[in-house]
Amino acid sequence: MELEFEVKHKDLLGRVGVLTVAGKRVTTPAFVPVINPLNQVIPASDMKKELGCEIVITNSFIIYKRLSERAAEGVHSIIGFDGVVMTDSGGYQVLEYGEVDVSPVEIARFQELIGSDIAVPLDKPTGLVGRKQAEKTVEQTLQNVRMTMKEVGRDSRCVWVAPIQGGVYTDLIERCVDEYKEMGFSMYCLGSPTPLMTTYKYEPLVGMISAARLRISFGKPLHLFGAGHPMLFSLAVALGCDLFDSASYALFALEDRYMLSDGTVRLEQLSTLPCSCKACQMTSVRELQTMPRGERFKLLSWHNLNVCFQELRQVRQAIWEGRLFELLEKRARAHPALYEAFQRLTLDESIASASAKLTPLSKKRGLFLYDRVSLRRPEVRRAMSLLENFEMSRKVSTNAVLIDFRVTTVKNQSKLLEKLSSLVGGEGFEIYTYGTPYGLVPFALSNVYPYSQTTFTSNLVKDVEKELLEKILETLRKKMFKRVLVVERGKDVYPGFTKVLARLLSERLDAEVLHVSLR
């Protein structure tokens, strides 16, 4: 069976796309609920009908052991879902119990028999282990996959995905990917993140995901096993994950834990239900706390599931608008460990380089910059690089006129240019704007995205004032102007900034510097 994947929109390493299998379409990034084939707390059919769920995952090993007499019905009939069904082969049981009593070939044949749309070969999850044990799990996984693909071949009725293992050892992850490339897989899945997530070790998770994503062709979708909390979705998507599965919606409900987009609270900690989903509308927090356990479990499961789908819709919207970084900034502050992971994402040069290549040159909305971390986003880095290249390629006049960035909003630009010309004395001059985190911006570029489409705080400019002033000084030195006019228009762009700029240039620039006012 063939798998098709079409990317519609991109931002950072995330993308909104359409995955097509057996004529059925899945919009990505997608949350893939885990369905217990023996006991569905929320029927898969209800997930599709009421939440728009297009893909689920179930455990073929459980069906093999407990429901094999129904195999001829097919997995879609067994779980009651006519969308895309993905089946795991028992890897979770291997992680929990060490082994399963079925061979890779047996479970592969069974997944074909029950008509899985997307199937996972039997792998050996790495988990959190030492280097030697990690190497063993990778070798066992690769051996199992080789056996499976030799048996099912390329004409399988399933789409087979490549299970990547290696844990926190990124070279082992890369080894898996390199071997799978030779086998021609059209989809990949990264295993073993759950032990990291349950212990709040999000920073090494960034390394794991990026090692896999940057090694795989960007035209291939990447599935992340076990990523079930919505506060992690924006991070995973920003790193290039397209799908993630989890049973967390039910597991958390069993412990009376109520999911939010930026965390989890226990039911007894709630004074109200801060959600408008179907489950929360039909009850109160007091009623939920006191109702019979079985009924409460179902309502909490439904709420948790709804939060997961709602967050994915928000992530897709952020990608479409070009604001995934801003959503990520918000979610990263949900927990110190998550913020640490976010910082690693922004500081990793390989991630930054790949993100810059994939992030669109222009977007539907402008940029919001809050602090120094915001300056690491790829659009800002690219804008800085464009300024350097633009300046190096231009012939420069003798005179430079520096005026604050608010000049870009002046309606009658011709009158403004006349006033500036009179100040210079009619000689040729170059105009630059100042006062933004970009430093000096040539007037010719001032309305090019994102220079005048950036909203930022005055505190950000104050915080990076020293670096900005040095950057302005360096730009002017390279151009070797003979005269520089620092122009004020009405109220100073930031209190004292223009005076400080003029004084610095007078002291350190080998040129005549004039501080003038344009009223």
Model confidence at 333: pLDDT above 70: yes
* Closest of 282, 256, 253 to residue 268, by C-alpha: 256
Q: Which two tokens stand for residue 323?
A: 């604001």
How do beta strands 429-436 and 439-442 pair?
antiparallel
pLDDT at 89: 86
In CATH, the architecture of 3-246 is: Alpha-Beta Barrel (3.20)
> 169-181: per-residue pLDDT in tens?
999 999 999 999 9
Tell me whether residue 123 is annotated as binding: yes
Question: Strand order in 30-35's β-sheet?
Answer: 159-160, 118-119, 84-88, 55-59, 30-35, 243-246, 222-224, 188-190, 162-164
> 182-240: per-residue pLDDT in tens?
999 999 999 888 888 888 899 999 999 999 999 999 999 999 998 878 999 999 999 99
pLDDT at 166: 96
Phi-psi region of 33 (alpha: psi -120 to 50; beta: other; left: phi over 0): beta
* Predicted confidence band of residue 99 (pLDDT cuts 50, 70, 90): low
> Which of 11, 88, 242, 404 does the annotation list as catalytic?
88
> 191-207: per-residue pLDDT in tens?
888 888 888 899 999 99
pLDDT at 289: 93
Listed in order, strand segments (DSSP E) in 174-239 are 188-190, 222-224
Tell me whether residue 510 is annotated as binding: no
Model confidence at 95: pLDDT above 60: no
DSSP string, 435-504: EETTEEEEGGGTTSTTTTSEEE-HHHHHHTHHHHHHHHHHHHHHHT-SEEEEEE-SS-SSTTHHHHHHHH
pLDDT at 372: 93
Q: What is the CA radius of gyration of the chain?
A: 28
Please confirm whether the linkage preceding 442 is cis (ω < 30° from 0).
Answer: no
Q: What are the residue ranges spanned by the domains of the chain?
A: 3-246, 367-517
pLDDT at 409: 73
Model confidence at 422: pLDDT above 60: yes
Phi–psi pair at 445, nearest 5 degrees: -105, 0
CB atoms closer than 10 angstroms to residue 289? 13
* Closest of 131, 129, 151, 128 to residue 198, by C-alpha: 128
Give start and end residues of each alpha helix (H) in 12-121.
44-51, 60-66, 75-79, 91-97, 104-113
pLDDT at 2: 86
Per-residue burial over 250-261, b if 16 or more Cβ lie within 10 Å, else e, is: bebbeebbbbbb
Q: Which two tokens stand for residue 198?
A: 């349950």
CATH of domain 367-517: 3.40.50
Cβ atoms of 368 and 382 closer than 8 Å = no
Q: How far apart are alpha carbons 12 and 327 in whole angstroms?
A: 12
pLDDT at 392: 59
Give the total residue count for the chain.
Answer: 519
The larger pLDDT score, comparing residue 422 to residue 159, is at: 159
Q: Which two tokens stand for residue 492?
A: 């100073």
The larger pLDDT score, comparing residue 73 to residue 192, is at: 73
Angle of helix 202-215 versus helix 349-358 axis, rounded to 10: 50
The 3-state DSSP class for residue 161 equals coil
> 448-464: per-residue pLDDT in tens?
899 989 999 988 988 99
Tell me whether residue 275 is annotated as binding: yes
88 is known as an active-site residue: yes
Q: What is the mean pLDDT of residues 417-439?
A: 83
CB atoms closer than 10 angstroms to residue 189? 25
Tell me whether residue 189 is annotated as binding: no
Q: Which residues make Cβ contacts (< 8 Å) with residue 470, sequence separation at least 6?
A: none
Q: Which residues make Cβ contacts (< 8 Å) with residue 349, sequence separation at least 6?
A: none
Mean pLDDT of the chain, nearest integer: 91
Query: For the whole model, what pTM was predicted?
Result: 0.91
pLDDT at 96: 57
